[in-house]
Structure 1
Amino acid sequence: MTEPLRTAHTADLTPAELHEIRAFLDTAFDGDFSDDDWDHTIGGLHAFVRDEHGLAAHGSLVQRRVLHRGRSLRTGYVEGVAVRADCRRQGLGGRVMDALERAIDAAYALGALSASDEGAALYESRGWQVWPGRLAALGPDGVVPLPDEEGTTYVRPAAGRKLPEASGALHDTLYFDWRDGDVL
């Protein structure tokens, strides 16, 4: 039997559910999930699957602003995607991404995420593309280049839109809004 997928905004989750999601992500990321990472994961749409053992998969989508060629793009940024170890390779990550991508298509100009080596294949199989240009953030003291994020930051245009292609736009810089911890 296929377990149901649930979506809910952070505001609609109980404190116990939020605690469960945080503990799940701490475990899924082998203790390498900081308070800043948690802060980046909340405040938007969560998609998750539970089974008889608890959470089996989770991902969230939060709004960010990305500047590209002088335009501010409302961007759905994917965070906190994880599948419990005993449930991997069963399609749960794809189900979570289906829900998040539907939200991107309905409400955003662009989807973006930073992929781990382990997660990159999932996103590539779904049509996400590595941003080939430069990456930077608009920090408190000005522009902060993010060369370490280049090659691991993926984008996906919302349905009916295309990634910018005219006159080398794909190689222009994406400027992300600033946040504490890992900017991307």
Structure 2
Amino acid sequence: MGVTLPPGARPRIGVRTQPRPEYGEDVTTLRTAHTSALTPAELRAARTLMDAAFDGDFSDEDWEHGLGGLHALVTDAAGALLAHGSVVQRRILHNGRSLRVGYVEAVAVRPDRQRQGLGGQVMGALEQVVDGAYALGALSASADGKGLYLARGWRTWQGAVGTLGPHGVLPMPEEDPPLLWGGPDLDPAHELLIDWRDGDVF
């Protein structure tokens, strides 16, 4: 039997949850697991979901960025994957400080189950992880997904961004600013430098 949550409440990690009655869908199960605890079949299902949700515009490098941390997965009663997201550790340099950041990646909902609250279930679990384990959260939002994050209280970084790359500091003036969650107040007068990685840095 599903657990009905009060308005605005976040689901506890690993509990069965039920979408609002107007969706008329079966009970779903939300769980979190580290990449190392997922089976090859579960990882393949999540990778396939990315292709479906992003209409093929999700590269292998994008997928690689979402591995090595904690995954939130929503499945239906038959065990089919409906929604996914992950949070991985990164470092941000800001105003002389190195901050441990929970960076949200690979958030997607199966196309036929979008706009039914499943993305919110995934984000609730990931935000709980960020709150408990990191100095702040960060993510790079797609145009379609940005509204979900802003509605949940994520805020747009107002300062300059860049990366600390193999050859030193690299400003990125054309980069869309990331969204941030919680953490200390950051001064937009000082640039935000994120750690380097292959593919999209943000």
Please confirm whether the aligned pair reaches a TM-score higher than 0.5, indicating the same fold. Answer: yes
Find the aligned partners of 2:83 and 2:94 in 1 and give their Cα distance.
32
Counterpart AA for 2:112: D
- TM-score w.r.t. length of structure 2: 0.83
2:103 maps to 1:81? no
**Alignment-derived partner of residue 137 in structure 2:** 111
2:173 pairs, out of 132, 140, 147, with 147
Runs of 5+ consecutive residues of structure 1 not aligned to the other structure: none
Is the 2:52–2:111 contact (alpha carbons within 8 Å) kept by the matching residues of 1? no
Is the 1:134–1:150 contact (alpha carbons within 8 Å) kept by the matching residues of 2? no
1:54-80: CA deviations, max 9, x gaps? 211110000000011010000000000
Quote the offset at 1:140 in angstroms. Answer: 0.5
Q: SS where residue 188 of structure 2 aligns?
A: helix
The number of residues matched between the two structures is 176
Quote the offset at 1:150 in angstroms. Answer: 2.9
Which structure carries more helix by proportion? Answer: 1
Is the 1:137–1:177 contact (alpha carbons within 8 Å) kept by the matching residues of 2? yes
**Alignment-derived partner of residue 179 in structure 1:** 197
**Alignment-derived partner of residue 22 in structure 2:** none
Find the aligned partners of 2:49 and 2:114 in 1 and give their Cα distance.
14
2:178 maps to 1:156? no
Is the 1:163–1:170 contact (alpha carbons within 8 Å) kept by the matching residues of 2? no
**Alignment-derived partner of residue 37 in structure 2:** 12
- TM-score w.r.t. length of structure 1: 0.91
Find the aligned partners of 2:113 and 2:161 in 1 and give their Cα distance.
34
Counterpart AA for 2:185: L
Q: SS where residue 48 of structure 1 aligns?
A: strand
Find the aligned partners of 1:48 and 1:100 in 2 and give their Cα distance.
10
Larger radius of gyration: 2
Counterpart AA for 1:154: L
1:96-122: CA deviations, max 9, x gaps? 000000000000001000001100000
Root mean square deviation, CA, Å: 1.3
Find the aligned partners of 2:175 and 2:148 in 1 and give their Cα distance.
18
Runs of 5+ consecutive residues of structure 2 not aligned to the other structure: 1-25
Quote the offset at 1:53 in angstroms. Answer: 7.6
Q: SS where residue 49 of structure 1 aligns?
A: strand
Find the aligned partners of 1:96 and 1:146 in 2 and give their Cα distance.
30
**Alignment-derived partner of residue 12 in structure 2:** none
Find the aligned partners of 1:147 and 1:24 in 2 and give their Cα distance.
32
Find the aligned partners of 1:60 and 1:4 in 2 and give their Cα distance.
16
